[in-house]
Structure 1
Amino acid sequence: MGDWTAAEVMTALEDLGLLGEGPRRMRDLFDTAKTARDLPLDEVDKLMAEPPYAARMAAFCILDFQARARPGDVALRDAYLRHHDSIDAWDMVDRAAPWVVGSCVAGGPYDLLHDLAASPDPLRRRTAMTAPLWFVRHGTDADVLAGFELAATLHADADPLVHKPVGIFLAHAGERMRPQLLTFLAEHESHMPRPAARLARRRL
């Protein structure tokens, strides 16, 4: 198929039986999104408005595929943020936030992530803590230190949607900057939820 439309993505998902209440066959969903990865952003907007989980997850996967080809693309970041209210599952954040948001914020300023970290919405706070995973692999040391600052802001968050990503970021960041992780834990570990602390220490 050549240029895709949102309607054609919906048809493909329906043909695969992914729009109902059955099991989430993520491989089929990812393969469909990858095939439609050049979907124009106005068509991505239409997918985001669809009620089924699979449609919206496909849309976030498409943003992720496009960001991997064009890291730092502000239009992709803005599409993600514009449709943040369409996110109702943690895996939508985890799929798209590092490349779509993190690659745009790398190099600073980091105000966007701090604004998200201050949100009452736990999924926005999850975006704030998941986007910096891009920093660990692709960013500068200054970027990673900015991620530590966000983790300090959210280290005591009681919501598992947030404190687990804190621990995951710290584990990965600690592989790159072990002394900073040890300093962080010495200061904050006693106030962290235990699952977050365990995750943070898993690679020490």
Structure 2
Amino acid sequence: MEKTEYEIITDEMMALRDDAQREVLQRFFKTGEGEYGCGDKFLGIKVPVTRGVAKRHKTADMGTIRQLLQSEWHEIRLCALLIMVEKMKKADDELQQELVNLYLSMTDRINNWDLVDLSAPQIVGGYLSCRPRRLLYKLAESSLLWDNRIAMVSTYAFIKNGDLDDAYALALRFIRHPHELMHKAVGWMLREAGKRDLPRLRAYVMSHYAEMPRTMLRYAIEKFPEDERRSILKLR
């Protein structure tokens, strides 16, 4: 019997597994008991290799992508997301809507920071670039950490175009978020916003440095002049 595309992609990925790299990745992505990636399983495949598989299978249909997103293997889920990213590049409005609907229906499977960061700006951010942004604020209200990170990191698509308002609005919403992964995401997006408008970032930081978790603040001011950065951290 002829193999399905899901089976072909899965077989390709399984053939690329690297047990030594797998051990490194499982530690790096915090898969231990009580950690944010608890129970996730890795094949030990580097992102550029996974991206290559995704590009070869960018015509995969939605059913195949859904199956891949349900995989127990981290890199196979990443492959599904990278296929979606490839599809978004030339998608019409109808296909974009399908891709975003699928993505948002499976955010529990987009369950580590790299999966979010390599897909949310292109898929959710790309879709919303010329549309109302209410969806971001709905994700921000979710109790799921990954929904929150998707909301924040999706603003990278807008930031690149000099559209900074949603990044700052969400940064305020998340300023007291309990998880360090969100502190890093917010700080990262603020830093990127600062590359487009440094005075605005400086004003935000000076208004809110006392409330910002230290990690968030450090990320946000990473590109400030050294003396200024040190002075702000001392204030904190």
Same fold (TM > 0.5): yes
Compared CA separation, residues 21 and 200, structure 1 to 2 (3 A): closer
Which of 87, 98, 102 is equivalent to 2:125? Answer: 102
Residue correspondence of structure 1 range 110-121 to structure 2 within 5 A: 110-121=133-144
Gaps of 5+ in 1: none
> Judging changes above 3 Å, is the alpha-carbon distance between structure 1 residues 21 and 101 closer, same or farther for their aligned structure 2 residues?
closer
Q: Does the 8 A contact of 1:174 with 1:181 survive in 2?
A: yes
Matches within 5 A, 1:54-203: 54-70=75-91, 73-138=96-161, 141=163, 144-203=164-223
CA distance in 1: counterparts of 2:158 and 2:132, whole angstroms: 13
Worse overlay, 147-156 or 11-20: 11-20
Give me the whole-angstrom Cα distance separating, in 2, the residues matched to 1:38 and 1:47. 14
Deviation at 1:188, TM superposition (A): 1.6
How many Å apart are 1:69 and its aligned residue?
3.3
Instruction: Give the corresponding residue for 1:49.
Output: 70
The correspondence for 1:26, drawn from 47, 71, 96, is: 47
Matches of 1:155 and 1:177, distance apart in 2: 20
Which has the higher mean CA deviation after the structures are superposed, 33-42 or 71-80? 71-80
> Which residue type is aligned with residue 7 of structure 2?
A
Distance 1:168 1:70 in 2: 28
* 1:71–1:103 CA contact under 8 A, matched in 2: no
SS across alignment from 1:92: helix
Cα distance in 1 for partners of 2:107, 2:150 equals 9
- Greater shift after overlay, 109-118 or 21-30? 21-30
Secondary structure of 2:210's aligned partner: helix
TM-score (norm 1): 0.89
1:196 Cα offset (Å) = 0.9
Aligned residues: 198
Q: TM-score, normalised by structure 2?
A: 0.77
Flag the structure with larger Rg: 2
Q: CA RMSD in A?
A: 2.0
The alpha-carbon deviation at position 26 of structure 1 amounts to 2.5
Q: Deviations over 1:136-189 (max 9, x none)?
A: 113x53xx2122111111122231121101000000111112222122112222
Asked whether the 8 Å contact 1:67–1:100 carries over to 2, the reply is yes
Q: Percent identity?
A: 25
Greater RCO, CA 8 A, separation 6+: 1
Residue 203 of structure 1 deviates from its aligned partner by: 1.9
Q: Is the 8 A contact 2:129 2:158 kept in 1?
A: yes
Larger helix percent? 1
Distance 2:209 2:131 in 1: 27
Give the distance between the partners of 1:48 and 1:114, measured in 2 at CA: 24
Determine helix, strand or coil for the equivalent of 1:51.
Answer: coil
CA contact (8 A) 2:108 2:146 kept: no
Alpha-carbon distance change, 185 to 21 in structure 1, aligned in 2, over 3 angstroms = closer
